[in-house]
Amino acid sequence: MIRATSLDLNCDMGESFGVYKLGSDLLLLPYVSSISIACGFHAGDPSIMRETMVLAKERDISIGAHPGYPDLAGFGRRPMQLTPAEVYDVVVYQVGAFLGVAKSLNVDATHVKVHGALYNAASADNALAAAIARAIYAVDSGLTLVGLAQSKLIEAGIEQGLRVSREAFADRRYKADGSLVSRSHPMALYHDFAEAKEQLQELLTTGYVTALTGEKVAIQADTICVHGDSAEAIDFARGLRSLMSELGITLSRLERG
């Protein structure tokens, strides 16, 4: 694998809704080049969506839709038995709403990244991945599909004719097949950047990560995600930017296809 020379650093944002405040969006914005904004199904609301877009526009940060399962109570991280047709509809609905708000602010959306349990399900399920890719293409074929590197989502996006961006995670551990260790596992998450730094340095310099079970896994990454809802998000974003600088890796934002 060839080491990275430039990377996007993305964060999921706009996940507050009503009186509920989630994440540290304002503090994270200086460190990232792209953000994915909740569309109201797993988190977020119309006002938060608009306010987050305004903040990104002021800082020339790429914005994308972050659709998820209709599951506010579970933050979109609980599996749901939606059919591919239903997944198509919920993605079309959420991306359409997102693009409407973006147009009202004269902001160009660049990408779509599905959230949580839907992201994980579609990473391994051809039918769900294809439904998501078709939904994005139907609404705006110029949007980039962000998906887990080496996943069914990336394959579906390429097959549909979308530009794709392969994603790796700063704060997650990997399985031998390149998928993420389930959040139900006690070692799924890194809670300290110092713990994650070795994995990130390996990824950025060699294009591999070491799985939880010890295997070397090839990861071709165009963008790295820092989860904005975690307590350690700012330390991870700051640490990752510093590590990229040390390695001579430039920051590059997500672009349209």
pLDDT digit string (tens) for the chain, length 257 residues = 446 689 999 999 999 998 889 888 999 999 999 999 999 999 999 999 999 999 999 999 999 999 999 999 999 999 999 999 999 999 999 999 999 999 999 999 999 999 999 999 999 999 999 999 999 999 999 999 999 999 999 999 999 999 999 999 988 999 999 999 988 899 888 888 988 999 999 999 999 999 999 999 999 999 999 987 777 889 999 999 999 999 999 999 999 98
Amino acid found at 66: H
> In this structure, is residue 230 part of a structural domain?
yes
> In this structure, is residue 70 part of a structural domain?
yes
Angle between helical axes of 126-139 and 84-104 (0-180°, round to 10): 30
Return the pLDDT at 1.
Answer: 47
Which whole-number Å values give the CA distances from 220 to 33, 40, 98, 132, 167, in the listed order? 19, 31, 28, 21, 8
Return the pLDDT at 3.
Answer: 64
> In this structure, is residue 257 part of a structural domain?
no
Q: Domain containing 128: what range?
A: 6-251
Are residues 167 and 146 in contact, defined by beta-carbon separation less than 8 angstroms?
A: yes
Domain count within the chain: 1
> In this structure, is residue 217 part of a structural domain?
yes
Report the run of H or E that residue 64 belongs to, with start and end. Answer: strand 62-66
C-alpha to C-alpha distance for 218 and 126, rounded to whole angstroms? 21
Return the pLDDT at 229.
Answer: 74
CATH code, domain carrying 235: 3.20.20.370
Closest by Cα among 252, 232, 244, 242 to 24: 232
> In this structure, is residue 1 part of a structural domain?
no
> In this structure, is residue 256 part of a structural domain?
no
Return the pLDDT at 231.
Answer: 72
Give me the residues paired with residue 148 across strands. 167
- Rounding to the nearest 10 degrees, give the CA dihedral for residues 235, 239, 240, 245: 150
> In this structure, is residue 96 part of a structural domain?
yes
> In this structure, is residue 205 part of a structural domain?
yes
C-alpha to C-alpha distance for 123 and 117, rounded to whole angstroms? 10
